[in-house]
Chain A
């Protein structure tokens, strides 16, 4: 065989292997979505979405879990979004390249690699015990808030980086102080981008189970949480219970599939919204 022909064949085989890898990943994703969509779709009804579980969670719906996940995500956002934004403002607008700044960045990168269950342990000690919030929706939300902090900081900083320096220089040249410059010429343009980035982090938090296992999520509650000190039901924890801990796991499998579908639609819905908005923002900026 001629070397040129051999080269071509090797290239064809090589590229085919790369395409196969891509196809495999796509296939797994489609299999996931198809299986959950097909088996969960049949369970979804207005009753399923709007009612509480009945008869030892063998019938009824998942409304308390949807509500609980919504509530805990709001608390997560209240802690994580403002703190993350302010930290990003410090890093991008104020901080100089010092050892301390490098240490902050290193900490942020390392925080995003801390296992979620370790955040759960930290939440037990700090929020449940030391601060005496008990196992509650507040403790769980704050735990998730700390977990999402590195993601919100990174996402917010990305948004700040897209603001051209000429905006800043223009304000400073007119005699504005640093804070005036940030408030009038940086934040108004950066906040939409910051928010979309943080929504991605919140979506991940909404789907997390390990950090809330011991900080506030409840197996079953006949009522909705009335205050921040109450325990709550959450979609991911409910799925875990329905899949493995229920006394009749096989009987309630359809309900587990339904829960999985609702959870995935919720999380991916938040993701998609953020991705689409981000895409539009980028186009506008060009």
Chain B
């Protein structure tokens, strides 16, 4: 009897241990948010929030008057992200459709690991190739100085978000019930019509979620844009301008800034803005994906 009691106690302790590991994910997420928030707040003792979000001038080390305007960087981040999506969404959906509907299954078995290889290339290597490979090419095509601009960043971010978009879009295309395509084919539609008018619309919410997750990746990517977009602080007026994204600015300035200054806190405030933006995008993607899975069941 006592042995049984001891064993129950032990079981409960083990369960409690695994439970603690389980809720760690929640704690880390909340921890990141609270840490960023508490380190960002002191920045706003000196900076007005309205100025932070709407001014385009970022010059924290100016000897006359330090300026903390984030707008140029927000616009830069959005520019390279939108540019990346314009390239990656059609290509990504095309590849997903190819893998799910056109490729022979043996070809698919080979190509899927290849996509994983693309996903495995470190972002710093992609940035390096943007610098040495795409930069000169873009400079030649558009007759600009060095090719380190928003176009370059967009192309690289497109490459980096493609694996996410491809794999999740393909999953959702494969999850479309067979009966849909069989019914379409039986009614005399061609495989292309079936893909384009039946399967793609049926998988649409999954594909949208895939694109949003790709977007989240593009917003938060640091090294590629840091190395390939030129990092000019001025407000960008076009895709051939050099841009400095929020991520790149943190990477450039956090190394030089003295701890516990307004500038230091302001960099964490940028981190907070980044966190909130990616969190919102990912959460929205999650909701879309969830709805879609519920409908399937």
Contact = CB atoms under 8 A, between A and B. Distances in A.
Given A18-B102, A113-B279, A244-B131, A25 B115 contact: yes
Contacts of B2: none
A275 B113 contact: yes
A213 B133 contact: no
Interface string A15-53: 101111110111011011001100000000000000000
A240 B227 contact: yes
Contact of A263 (B39, B125, B213): B125
A104 B22 contact: yes
A260 to B, nearest CB: 5
A173 interface: no
Contact of A253 (B126, B129, B132): B132
Interface residues of B, number: 87
B29 interface: yes
A110 B279 contact: yes
Given A7-B193, A8-B190, A107-B25, A210 B111 contact: no
B271 A118 contact: yes
A21 B193 CA distance: 18
Given A89-B18, A244-B227, A256-B128, A149 B25 contact: yes
Nearest to A31: B133
A267 B121 contact: yes
Contact of B91 (A8, A25, A91): A25
Contacts of B105: none
Contacts of B220: 113-118
A87 B29 contact: no
B17 A86 contact: yes
B114 A26 contact: yes
A177 B11 contact: yes
Contacts of A260: 125, 128
Contact of A110 (B117, B247, B286): B286
Interface in A137-183: 146, 149-150, 153, 177-179
Contacts of A178: 11, 14-15
A29 B223 contact: no
B28 interface: yes
A243 interface: yes
A21 B219 CA distance: 24
Interface stretch (A59-67, A119-127, A186-194): A119-127
A100 to B, nearest CB: 8
A15 B216 CA distance: 29
B275 A115 contact: yes
Given A94-B19, A107-B29, A109-B282, A36 B125 contact: yes
Contacts of A210: 123, 222-223, 247, 251
B159 A28 contact: yes
Contact of B99 (A22, A90, A100, A206): A22
B97 A18 contact: yes
Contacts of B26: 103-104, 107
Interface residues of A, number: 86
Contacts of A271: 116-117, 120
B208 interface: no
B186 interface: no
Nearest to B216: A113
Given A83-B21, A91-B22, A264 B255 contact: no
A24 B268 contact: no
Interface of B: 7, 10-11, 14-15, 17-19, 21-26, 28-29, 31-32, 35-36, 39, 90-91, 94-95, 97-99, 101-103, 111, 113-118, 120-129, 131-133, 159, 162, 166, 190-193, 195-196, 213, 216-217, 219-223, 226-227, 247, 250-251, 254-255, 259, 267-268, 271, 274-275, 278-279, 281-283, 286
Given A22-B111, A179-B11, A271-B116, 16 more contacts: A18-B94, A20-B94, A22-B103, A32-B121, A87-B18, A87-B25, A94-B19, A110-B29, A113-B213, A114-B29, A114-B32, A115-B278, A118-B220, A153-B25, A208-B123, A210-B223
Interface of A: 7-8, 10-11, 14-15, 17-22, 24-26, 28-29, 31-32, 35-36, 83, 86-87, 89-91, 93-95, 100, 103-104, 106-111, 113-122, 124-126, 129, 146, 149-150, 153, 177-179, 200, 203-204, 206-210, 213-214, 236-237, 239-240, 243-244, 253, 256, 260, 263-264, 267-268, 271-272, 275
